[in-house]
Amino acid sequence: HVSIGGLGDSFYEYLLKAWLMSDKTDEDAKKMYYDAVQAIETHLIRKSSGGLTYIAEWKGGLLEHKMGHLTCFAGGMFALGADGAPGDKTGHHIELGAEIARTCHESYDRTRMKLGPEAFRFDGGVEAIATRQNEKYYILRPEVIETYMYMWRLTHDPKYREWGWEAVEALEKHCRVDGGYSGIRDVYINHENHDDVQQSFFLSETLKYLYLLFSEDDLLPFEHWVFNTEAHPLPILHKDDENKEENQK
């Protein structure tokens, strides 16, 4: 079972971020990341008949045309890794990030609550819609917001802030309860069926990425900080800083 969502997402993300944290000196991580992206494009990325780019999963030798909410982080990853892409592919990686962001936005927009399901499919005549009951829930996940934030910072296309604000309004309307915020059991029905759980990643990731989406670029700027897979900011180890430390010794 090969997935860029659950069970595999952080591995690919950390190949890129190990390279970025090293101030782009870790050539092994760089090569592994771009080789992985090439393999993802070859084996997993497909385009629907309606023109939506998605990342499928590989199961038992067959391609399953399903994309998980967790996989939506990859739009931001592709865009973040665009600067440095081999073979003049920087623009291609940015475009790939933008296409994944659009697909994930569609997964939100095609629900009644404007909040994305846990997984959505591209088969049986449907596109970017959850078809199984056990995939129709939303548990305050951050991955789509995360990609909006990266795409905004890297392109400044206003649609990413517009899409982010749509999510804010949906969260306030459907998820806010007396004690905080709750997940939703089915995002396709008219009435809220809360699961009465506020996941810890809602505070550490979803709200943080929303805050950064509407902040200035000099707040935790990308040239100095890398966010790990749980949105904790880690400093980039600049070569100049290392030289200063050596001189001080």
**Catalytic sites, residue numbers:** 118
Amino acid at 173: K
Which backbone phi and psi does 162 adopt, to 5 degrees?
Answer: -65, -45
Amino acid at 15: L
Establish whether 206 is an annotated binding residue: no
Q: Give the distance, in angstroms, between the CA of residue 68 and the centroid of all CA atoms in the same chain.
A: 11
Q: Are strands 225-227 and 233-235 parallel, antiparallel or unpaired?
A: antiparallel
Burial of 90 (0-12, 13-18, 19+ CB in 10 A): middle
Spatial CA neighbour of 44 closest among 59, 57, 61: 57
CA distances from 16 to 80, 84, 111, 216 (A): 9, 10, 33, 24
- For the chain, the C-alpha Rg in angstroms (whole number) is 18
Task: Give the tokens for residue 72.
Answer: 């939506």
Ramachandran category for residue 104: left, alpha or beta (phi over 0 → left; psi -120 to 50 → alpha):
alpha
Residue ranges for the known binding site are 229
Residue ranges for the known binding site for Ca(2+) are 229
